């Protein structure tokens, strides 16, 4: 039995308010990823084993005091980067066994292709008259 994957490609036409929101969400996602990577490196140097769930929990504890601005965007903007970081480290360790080295890199604002995840509970798509369904 094979699984069928269905996707929808949706073109957004954001106004200035939406563009500002997206930029904030991109920045928060980049911050969470870079913070997690720095913390992972720090823990490794101290000999502490860590995983993405521990990092996410620690980041969430710091949000109120140090990163209060992340509450302006969807919660997924700061949760999903830890999953991506975990995938990056899994790839790193898998490639290391093959003799390849591709340690996860910090995301830079200029080189970062902005992206963030929006959960199904936080979006509503309204069908308009000119859509092709």
For the stretch 103-132, pLDDT in tens is: 899 988 876 567 676 776 666 767 776 655
- Domain presence at residue 35: yes
For 74-104, how does the pLDDT look when each residue is reduced to its tens digit (9 = 90+)? 888 999 999 999 999 999 988 888 888 788 9
- Domain presence at residue 129: no
- Domain presence at residue 125: no
- Structural domain count, the chain: 1
Q: What pLDDT score does 98 carry?
A: 85
pLDDT at residue 1 greater than cutoff 70: no
pLDDT at residue 133 greater than cutoff 60: no
Residue 117: DSSP 8-state: -
CA proximity to 88, closest of 109, 103, 77, 108: 103
The whole domain housing 74 covers 16-106
- Domain presence at residue 132: no
- Domain presence at residue 121: no
Biggest CA-to-CA distance, the chain: 59
Question: Left if phi > 0, otherwise alpha if psi is -120 to 50, otherwise beta: which for 47?
Answer: left
With residue 92 as reference, give the H or E element that holds it.
helix 76-97
């Amino acid at each position: 039995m094979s699984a069928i994957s269905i996707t929808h490609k949706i073109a957004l036409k954001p106004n200035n308010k939406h563009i500002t929101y997206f930029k904030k969400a991109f920045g928060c996602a980049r911050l969470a990823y870079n913070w997690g990577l720095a913390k992972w490196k720090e823990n490794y140097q101290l000999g502490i084993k860590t995983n993405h769930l521990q990092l996410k929990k620690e980041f969430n504890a710091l949000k109120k005091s140090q990163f209060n601005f992340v509450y302006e965007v969807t919660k997924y903007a700061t949760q999903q980067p830890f999953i991506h970081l975990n995938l990056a480290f899994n790839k790193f360790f898998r490639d290391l066994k093959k003799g390849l080295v591709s340690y996860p890199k910090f995301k830079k604002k200029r080189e970062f292709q902005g992206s963030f995840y929006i959960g199904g509970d936080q979006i509503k798509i309204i069908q308009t008259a000119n859509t092709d369904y």
